Amino acid sequence: MTNEELTKQLLREFSKLRTEVRENGVLMEQVHDQNQAVLEAVGDIQKELADVPKRAEFAELQADVRVIKAAIADVSEQVNDHERRLIRLEPA
């Protein structure tokens, strides 16, 4: 093989490599863009999750609901007692 033939072959191989490098660069850019989109989505999800009540907050709400139920039951009992008294006081 002559020097000229070797040079031509090397140039062809170099051209192929440049094309592959360029294609790989484009692919890497696409992957980078997709990763950025995923990171943005994860960030948005984290922001949304920050607004979701935590387990401790639910426990606190459950305790509040128990207190409210007890108060309603007490008031209901008092109302029933008043109704019984009024019925006794009303002329028959």
Q: Where are the domains positioned within the chain?
A: 1-52, 53-92
Give the separation between CA 56 and CA 46, rounded to whole angstroms.
Answer: 19
Name the token pair of 21: 């490098």
The model carries a pTM of: 0.49
Cα dist from 31 to 26, 43, 65, whole Å: 9, 18, 50
Higher pLDDT, 70 or 52: 70
The tens digit of pLDDT for each residue in 37-48 reads 999 999 999 999
The tens digit of pLDDT for each residue in 13-60 reads 999 999 999 999 999 999 999 999 999 999 999 999 988 888 888 888
